[in-house]
Structures are given as structure tokens and as C-alpha cells.
Amino acid sequence: MVPPAHFTSYYGRPVLKASPWTDDIPTYLFLGGLAAGSSLLAAGADLTGRPGMRRTGRLAALAALTGSFAALVHDLGRPARFYNMLRVAKPTSPMSVGTWVLSGYGPFAAVAAAGELPGFRWLRPLGRPSGVVAAAVAPAVASYTAVLLGDTATPAWHEAHRELPFLFVGSAAAAAAGLQLVLSPTSETGPAQRLAVAGAVLELAAEHRMERSMGIAADTLHEGRAGRWMRTARALTATGAVAGLGARRSRLLSSLAGAALLGGSLCTRFGVFEAGQESARDPRFTVVPQRERLAARG
Amino acid sequence: MTTNPALDAGWVDPPPRKGFFTDTSVCIGCKACEVACKEWNAVPDDGMNFLGSSYDNSGELGGSTWRHVKFIEQPPVDLGMPSTSLPGSEGTKSDFRWLMSSDVCKHCTHAACLDVCPTGALFRTEFGTVVVQEDVCNGCGYCVPACPFGVIDKRIGEGVKNEGLAQKCTLCYDRLHDGLTPACAKACPTESIQFGDLDELRERAALRVEQLHGAGVPQARLYGEDPDDGVGGLGAFFLLLDEPEVYGLPPDPVVTTRDLPQMWKRAGLAAATLLAGAIAVFGAGS
């Protein structure tokens, strides 16, 4: 922690604008990760003969994907113009890249899930190939959102850009594996249990490292609303990881671990989101690091 | 000579890059620029607020504030120079100094808002400026946190024109097409806001700083004129009389997309980690 440095500002007003994004966006960050992780687990379950996990994973991916789409469209200033995202493909815009990644992922995840539903049994033969394609794109779905936040002037997001992708894929893995621990038969969930613990450990480790690399912007992860989200996230994720170790011995422990990991992932997304918003609102996080940068340059 | 972002954007044989040089040393805080901008561009009102910050009641640049005059009241600067008043005379000439500055979109050479826009609504004009196409923008809001100056914002207000869309200064794109000066510069009574070819404005600004230094104003400095800064230089740059942050400007702005290749690399590495992890957990037994 850096001691509060003296700095000047214009009437204490922000230098930057906080994003106009609402809770739709952290909700999407969570659901997108859940969908991606679920598709990976569903494909693995399908290929290793775990029908319960396959079904849970595919349906969870579809539900989370639907929720993601709703949240993303709802957050637009003109929701009816959402399709303007498809006018261009811009590698300099993580949101454009994300649009195309989701466009490549969504249909395959949806077809794989549809085969699990009563009215769409004729799609069953497409389940495996679609599920495998969805799983191949899924890691990009889970990690691009870190670039989406990092590629802004918002101090707590930009300064976190090295570790944020690891935090987000860890969070995605923990959430999706957590859901499996809650819903799938314990006889099948060995891989989910391992992914749950590994995801939670990665989430905790990446967050720990991130805080040490982002300078004073890390303060926003400890204060106010963001601080509460992050503390809750750490407690839930750690609980989930420990409970997850015994998840296959007890149905109750499995459900408990899964619920804690889902909650931890959700809190992480809201915490990171809120920390960024706060770092943009306080001119200290803009002026002080830039002054230090100038001073170092001489 | 400076780089012309219009060429980089694919314009063939574009006109010289246009911009603003805002010389805050002659700004009198009349707000004619704010009014002219609103009138010409039909920008809706941004609220009748009392902010308690000197004469500044428009607060900040935003979706409905494309020019914003800042007012800073400072105690006198003691330069340690001999006094100009006669020995024994009472008082000094002034007990404080005014800083006034008309802020605007900087029309960056490397514009983060334009880089991150996912619809192509933001584009680089043939004049090297950055403009939002209001019929294309879908109000995703990504440009807002991307801007290192906090300029662009979504327009708020029930039922107002272009509600929910990202809005900012266009450097009067319509007027430029007809060879006219942007409304704010046209209305500025002291030529604090100067419009013209950017190359020429930079020369003029360098002379003005020299002149002010010679006249005993050592605090005068240019802001955003350097093409080698973190945003490649500003299309709308300033002469300031104090540190940038005093005016609410970032001291060392950097376009966020400068780090984008590294960000994609890290995201790719993280994605590979996730994929490898998912494969590994299925390969490790029941």
C-alpha cells in the first residue's frame, strides 16, 4: 500500500468518466464465464460417458448464454440497434472481437443444448460435434472479457490487465464446475470437482498477484462496495475450494462447495467491476500514478 | 510536419489536419464558446445547476456539454521577484489570479474511443478529427471509459435528441465541409480558441509560449502539442498557466490500446490454461 500522495485536481472532480455500464455488465461477466466453463465440462463429459454432467453442462451453457445476451442488449443505450455490432470486425475493439467470439460460440452451444430438450431430439446427432466446437471457442469467451475491461483508461481495470484474464478464467472454471457439483450426480463429478478446486485456486492466486501489480489502484479493491464484494468473494471461493476437496464423499458437501464457488465467482465479477468504477471517479487514481510516471521519466 | 491520422485511416489525399489551439492565457471566461456550440449543434441543456465551483456551473464535458469553460481562482503566485508596487504603497495589484480554460474533445492522434468502438459509429474524418455517427451508435458506452480525458459520454435526459447515444464535439464537421470555422472558435471574442491547420497552430503556439516567457510568465506551457506523447499528440491542444491536473487534465495521458497486443497475449495464455485444465481434469481418472 502506498501512502496517500499529495495531488491537485479540479474541485476534486474526476479526470475520467466511469463507464456508463450498469449491473448488467458484471452479471454478463459472470454468466459468460459460467456458459464457457459449462460448455467445456459438457464436452468433456460427453466424450467420457458422463450423461448427467453432459446434460447439466449443455443446458447451463444455454441458460447462461441466453442471460448473457439479454444483459448485453439491455445495457445498450439503443437496444434495438444491437445488430450494429455486426457491421464491422475490429481487432482494436475487444467488444467487437467479443461479439464475433460469441457469434461463433452461441449457435453451437445452443444446438448442443437443444438436443437435450424434449422437442428437439432430432438435433441429437449434432450434439457432440456442436458441443466440441462450442468447447473449443469457450476459452476465448471466458478470457476476452478481461481484455474488454483492461482496454480502457479506467485505472483499476487497465492496471490489472496482466492478471485479469487468469482471474476471469479461474472464476469461470470455478463457477461452471460449482454448478456441476450442485446439479450432477456425484458418481460423475470427479472432473468437475478437480476443476472446481483448480479454478478456485487460480482465482485466488491471480487476484492476490493482481493486487500487487496494479499500484495504488489496488486500493479500490479494499474500500467501499468493491471491498465488500471482494472480501465476500474470497471467503466464498476459499470455502468452496476446501469443501470441494470432499465433494465426492457427501452430496451435501458437494452442493455446498458448488454454491459457494458460484457465489464467489459472482462476487468477484461485481467486485472487479465496482473497483474500476470507483477508480475512475476518484482523480487520485488518475493523477498520482501519471505524476509518478512523469517523475520517473525525469 | 506531423503525422496525419486521416491518411492512416485510409483517406486518399486528405486536406490538412484541422484542430484547435486553446490559448488559456487570453480566455476571459465569457462562455460564448459553450453557447455557440449548443446553438450550432442543437445540443440540449445540461441542467440548471449551481455547483459551487467559481463561475463553473456546467461541471464537466459530457453528452450534452461539448465545450466546457473551467474557472480556477488561485492565491497569487509569489515568484520571489521584486515588487512592482511603489515602496510604501498599500496592497498589491491583485489578491488572486484567475485561470480560465475552455475545454473540448482533444481529437487525439491515437483515439481510444475510436479504437474500441464496436460498431464503427466513431470514425476518423478527412480532417483528422474524430466524429460519432449518431445513426450508427447503439449506445454500448465502451468509448466512455476508454477516453483518457473523460470527454465522451452517453447523452442522458428523458426524450432528448439522441438520448442514450455517445456524444461529443465534432469539431463542427458540417461547418468544416463548407470551409467555415467551428462555432466555438468563431464566437470566441479574444481568440483564445484558435482554429486552423494543426501544423500552423503548433508553430503559432510555440511562438506564443516564447512570448509569454519573455513577458515574465514562466508558468506558460503547452499541453498536448507533442506528437510523441502517449496519445500521439492532440488535435485540440492547449497553452496552460499551471499543471494540467489543476485544469482537470491528466498529466500523462496514454491511449489504452497501446497495451492491447500484450492484453490479447495474456488473454490467449489464460484461455490456453483453461483449455488445458479442462482436458487435464478429464484425463485424471474417475
Per residue in A183-218, pLDDT (tens digit) is: 999 999 999 999 999 999 999 999 999 999 999 999
How many residues in chain B? 286
Collapse the DSSP code of B1 into the 3-class scheme (helix H, G, I; strand E, B; otherwise coil) and give the result.
coil
DSSP state of A215: G
Find the mean pLDDT for residues B235-260.
97
Are the beta carbons of A19 and B144 separated by less than 8 Å? yes
Q: Are strands B236-240 and B18-23 parallel, antiparallel or unpaired?
A: parallel
Interface of A with B in 9-28 (CB under 8 A): 9-11, 13-21
The vertex-A137 CA angle with A123 and A154, nearest 5°, equals 135
Residue A209 at interface with chain B, using a CB cutoff of 8 Å: no
DSSP state of B240: E
> What does the block give as the cell for B81?
521577484
pLDDT digits (tens, 9 = 90+) for A243-261: 999 888 899 999 999 999 9
Q: What is the ipTM metric for this complex? A: 0.96
Which residues of chain A lie closer than 8 angstroms to B256, CB-CB?
Answer: 150-153, 158
In 3D space, the residue among B250, B253, B248 whose CA is nearest the CA of residue B59 turns out to be: B248
Which residues of chain A lie closer than 8 angstroms to B270, CB-CB?
Answer: 139, 142-143, 146, 165-166, 168-169
Q: How far is CA B86 from CA A177, B89, B90, B198, B217, in A?
A: 82, 5, 9, 44, 21
Q: Chains A and B: how many Cβ contacts under 8 Å?
A: 250
Distance from CA of A119 to the nearest CA of B (A): 30
Cβ atoms of B144 and B166 closer than 8 Å? yes
- At residue B193, φ and ψ (nearest 5 deg) are -95, 110
Between A14, A18, A169, which is nearest B274 by CB?
A169
**CATH 3.40.1710.10 given to domain A24-282:** no
Q: How far apart are alpha carbons B12 and A164 in whole angstroms?
A: 40
Cβ atoms of A65 and A106 closer than 8 Å? yes
pLDDT at A1: 47
Distance from CA of B274 to the nearest CA of A (A): 6
Q: For residue B24, how far is the Cα from the chain centroid?
A: 14
When the pLDDT of each residue in chain A is averaged and rounded to a whole number, the result is 96
Are the beta carbons of A151 and B119 separated by less than 8 Å? no
pLDDT at B7: 94
Task: Give the pLDDT band of residue B284 (cuts 50, 70, 90).
Answer: confident
When the pLDDT of each residue in chain B is averaged and rounded to a whole number, the result is 93
Task: Give the pLDDT band of residue B86 (cuts 50, 70, 90).
Answer: low
Between B59, B115, B163, which is nearest A92 by CB?
B115
pLDDT at A133: 98
> What does the block give as the cell for B64?
450534452
Between A11, A76, A152, which is nearest B140 by CB?
A76
DSSP state of B243: -
Instruction: Please name the amino acid found at residue A184.
Output: S
Q: How far apart are alpha carbons A80 and A15 in whole angstroms?
A: 32
b/e burial code for range A58-89 (CB count within 10 A of at least 16 → b)? bbbbbbbbebbbebbbebbbeeebbebbeebe
DSSP state of B132: E
pLDDT digits (tens, 9 = 90+) for B206-234: 999 999 999 999 999 999 999 999 999 99
Q: How far apart are alpha carbons A123 and A111 in whole angstroms?
A: 7
Domain ranges of chain A: 24-282
Are the beta carbons of A143 and B70 separated by less than 8 Å? no
pLDDT digits (tens, 9 = 90+) for A89-142: 999 999 999 999 999 999 999 999 999 999 998 999 999 999 999 999 999 999
In 3D space, the residue among A170, A142, A180 whose CA is nearest the CA of residue A50 turns out to be: A180
The vertex-A151 CA angle with A148 and A153, nearest 5°, equals 125
Are the beta carbons of A151 and B154 separated by less than 8 Å? no
Residue of A nearest to B147 (CA): A153
Collapse the DSSP code of B79 into the 3-class scheme (helix H, G, I; strand E, B; otherwise coil) and give the result.
coil
Mutate to test the interface with B, among A19, A48, A84 (most CBs of B within 10 A): A84
Q: How far apart are alpha carbons A41 and A18 in whole angstroms?
A: 36
pLDDT at B228: 94
Cβ atoms of A294 and A24 closer than 8 Å? no
Residue A204 at interface with chain B, using a CB cutoff of 8 Å: no
Task: Give the pLDDT band of residue A6 (cuts 50, 70, 90).
Answer: confident
Residue A3 has pLDDT above 80, yes or no: no
Task: Give the pLDDT band of residue B96 (cuts 50, 70, 90).
Answer: confident
In 3D space, the residue among B195, B180, B164 whose CA is nearest the CA of residue B44 turns out to be: B164
Task: Give the pLDDT band of residue B83 (cuts 50, 70, 90).
Answer: low
Between B136, B164, B264, which is nearest A77 by CB?
B164
In 3D space, the residue among A10, A149, A20 whose CA is nearest the CA of residue A75 turns out to be: A20
pLDDT at A248: 84
Task: Give the pLDDT band of residue B84 (cuts 50, 70, 90).
Answer: low
Are the beta carbons of B246 and A10 separated by less than 8 Å? yes
Cβ atoms of A172 and B278 closer than 8 Å? no
pLDDT at A211: 96
> What does the block give as the cell for B134?
449518431
Interface of A with B in 53-72 (CB under 8 A): none
Strand partners, B154: B166
pLDDT digits (tens, 9 = 90+) for A144-187: 999 999 999 999 999 999 999 999 999 999 999 999 999 999 99
Between A45, A158, A283, which is nearest B256 by CB?
A158
Between B150, B281, B282, which is nearest A16 by CB?
B150
